[in-house]
Amino acid sequence: MKTWLITGCSSGIGKYIAKTVLEKGDNAIITARSTDRLQELVNLFPKTALPVALEVTNLESIKNAIKLAKERFGTIDVLVNNAGRGYSGAIEEGDSQAVKELFDTNLFGPINLIKEVLPDMRLKKAGAIINISSLGVLTCDSGGGYYAASKAALEKISVALRKEVAPLGIKVMVVEPGPFRTNFRVSHVTGQNKNISGYASVKKARDKLALDPFGQKGDPQKAGKAIVAAIEKDDYPKTILLGKGISDIGVNILTEEVQEIKKWKEIGDATNFDE
């Protein structure tokens, strides 16, 4: 029996990761900013589900959640950094305070959680950390630059962390979901968005989002099950893309990037000192 700490469990992928692990008999510290929407899981799994109010941008809140988890279950075997916020706007339109809140939630909160669980994982030489990112890191669409940057930073932290802790028996997996039917599109950080008229592509994306915030094809319940199944493999995926056709999109984007690198290889190679 493992113990999981999962952030952002009130709905969507986080909720179904929690439900999946609880159904298989594991313990789960299920967290959200308010525990009101966690009661469904608590009612279903009263002995193994521990609801905790957690604000990932607050270090004391994080430390309290870890303390309560250890008091109830003794240890944390798997951390899932799922809680996150979105932000829509052109780079020029960005509100500094809102962008800071975005990075506090999507990057620094997960980093602080990782730092809190690692000491015990190091001692046991076992554990797993799952960081939920986004296909947006690869697509980096107009209006999504700040969000993509926050998740891209989390991914690079994950890559370095994996190299650091793999010798200690600790797994680190990145998940890049495509469009899934969750509350994500209505949980964006708000700020003084300038709505500059010249950015037509950004306005088009914003208007589409407002018209159909729940039109995604991805099933969060299936995503939750897939994530749990993936991390439990010995040869687990370092990065996994979720959603029908999403892996193909990722391959196409990365193939174009490789071609771009090769195109300018000659100029790049000519920048060393002459021998």
Catalytic residue among 2, 19, 151, 225: 151
What global pTM score does this model have? 0.93
Q: Which helix (H) or strand (E) holds 80?
A: strand 78-81
Question: Is 151 one of the annotated active-site residues of the chain?
Answer: yes
Catalytic residue among 147, 150, 171, 199: 147
Q: pLDDT tens digit string along 190-235?
A: 555 667 878 877 877 766 665 555 567 889 999 999 999 999 999 9
Please say whether the structural domain 3-269 has been given the CATH code 3.40.50.720: yes
What integer pLDDT is reported at residue 244 of this predicted model? 94
What integer pLDDT is reported at residue 187 of this predicted model? 58
What integer pLDDT is reported at residue 158 of this predicted model? 99
Residue 153 carries which side chain, given as an amino acid letter?
Answer: A
Q: Which helix (H) or strand (E) holds 228?
A: helix 220-231
Residue 208 to residue 206: CA distance in whole angstroms: 5
Question: Is 147 one of the annotated active-site residues of the chain?
Answer: yes
Question: Is 134 one of the annotated active-site residues of the chain?
Answer: no
Residue 5 to residue 209: CA distance in whole angstroms: 31
- Residue 196 near residue 93 (C-beta atoms within 8 A): yes
What integer pLDDT is reported at residue 5 of this predicted model? 99
pLDDT < 50: residue spans in the chain: 186
DSSP code at position 186 = G
Catalytic residue among 10, 61, 150, 158: 10
DSSP code at position 234 = T
Catalytic residue among 133, 134, 150, 158: 133
What integer pLDDT is reported at residue 68 of this predicted model? 98
What integer pLDDT is reported at residue 197 of this predicted model? 78
Residue 227 to residue 75: CA distance in whole angstroms: 21
Residue 67 to residue 246: CA distance in whole angstroms: 38
What integer pLDDT is reported at residue 179 of this predicted model? 87
